[in-house]
A and B are shown apart, each in its own frame.
Chain A
Amino acid sequence: MTIEAALNTAMDTIPDCIAAGYVDMETGMLLATNTLDTDSADVLDTLAIAVANLFQGRGVKAFEELLRSAKAEDSNSPGFGEIAVFSNDRLHIFLRTREYPDHVVCYICHNSANVGLALTKSHLSLGPVAAAV
């Protein structure tokens, strides 16, 4: 299965999802996209460059470390792997893949989406998408 096909399948299950992209944070490039309109394709282009600030920023990593150190019983927490950004009338979901930590899957949904379901479904889609890389 191609990455595009895996993203397409994921979009079918994620509520109100209008775009999906597979981002390599090392280069800020989109390795695959699947969108319902051209505007969303432009948005994905921009987010592909921006998202590394959230996953790889030094301050974010320091906050991860702070949370990890405060949680004595589990020091193996992998850090932030899921980030949701609510802005304008959109919900943007970014998920880091376990297999390729520098790769992020991005979904854009209308803000009418059920947030819990959108997060759950997008998390479930990670395996098939990463397997298609």
Chain B
Amino acid sequence: MMDTDILELLDDIGRASVARLNPAVTVPGDTAQARREKVLRTIRGTILPRRLEFTAANGDCLAIEVNSSRVTDVFRVQSGIAPDFETESREDLAVKLAQLVTDIACAPAPLELVSLQPDTALEADDVGITFSEIETACENIEVPTEPVISIVADADPDEIASADEALESEDNETLAQRFYDGSERFAQGRVLAAGADGAALQMAGDCQENGSLHPDSDLLARFARDLAGWNGDSAAVMDHPQLIVMRPSGGKDAGLAILNDGKNLAMAVHEARKLGAVVNLWTNLKRPDG
């Protein structure tokens, strides 16, 4: 890039920058489910002691103290009584915290977050409830589906059908699918699997049934669980999509490239010397016009 280009970019950034007038940041997410994940992620990403205040558009507020990805106290809740960390069991606390997190995520958007210094110093016995405990408890609490309202004026049934087909085709064309398709030219074997349980969606090359690199459903399920563990533990610092390349020490034997788009996993077994092609495909897919 030329120096003048950089100066122009800096100039543009300078002109477009707006000073923050208050310490609140908006928790992104169009749906309650997405906001709940972001709230959990915020807890997971809070290492130093902080007081986090989540405030919904209707004024509902959840104020918690977090330290080392653990909730150590609750100061304010939307309604009812805040859980008592001194008398209640860990299981009960985890369930109540999960409900509080879900409630604030379900409150009207936008959801704002303010991160403040805690009022008091942490005490040695403030172990708190871990992010994982709350996340697990959240899995048992269903987030209400938000109503989707469509207004269609005298639409032609054929148009509706073609619009549905277009949406379906867009959904099918995930990044993992595109990586799976694009890796055909360099991969010895390819697998497209569901990220949730590792169920195989497509297989090709040596990974096909009876191929020398065919992974059975049990292997894929275990592999998906490993990646889910990685996602859960690294969620605070890693986003999707991700490209994960696994190679033997020294990088001389076959490697495994996995594209995880958050929904599906595309896996490609490739020769060591094809790593450049893997990275090129990833770079191309990540481009705005990719």
Contacts and interface: CB of A to CB of B under 8 A. Distances in A.
Interface of A: 42-43, 45-47, 49-51, 53-54, 57-60, 62-63, 66-67, 70-71, 74, 77-88, 95-96, 98, 115-116, 119, 123
A80 B248 contact: yes
A22 B1 CA distance: 35
B212 A70 contact: yes
A46 B132 CA distance: 13
B234 interface: yes
Tell me the dominant secondary structure on chain B's binding face: mixed
Interface string B218-247: 011111111101100110111111111111
A78 B251 CA distance: 11
A58 B254 contact: no
B230 A54 contact: yes
B70 to A, nearest CB: 13
B256 interface: yes
B244 to A, nearest CB: 5
B249 A82 contact: yes
Nearest to A65: B219
A88 B238 contact: yes
Contact of A50 (B223, B234, B251): B234
Interface in B261-290: 269, 275-276, 279, 282
A49 B238 CA distance: 13
B219 A50 contact: no
B244 A54 contact: yes
Given A46-B236, A67-B269, A57 B248 contact: no
Contacts of B212: 70
A109 B251 CA distance: 19
B238 A82 contact: no
A116 B237 contact: no
B164 interface: no
Given A46-B236, A49-B233, A86 B282 contact: yes
A80 B223 contact: no
A116 B276 contact: yes
B57 interface: no
B256 A63 contact: yes
B103 interface: no
A66 B256 CA distance: 11
B83 interface: no
A123 B243 CA distance: 19
B276 A57 contact: no
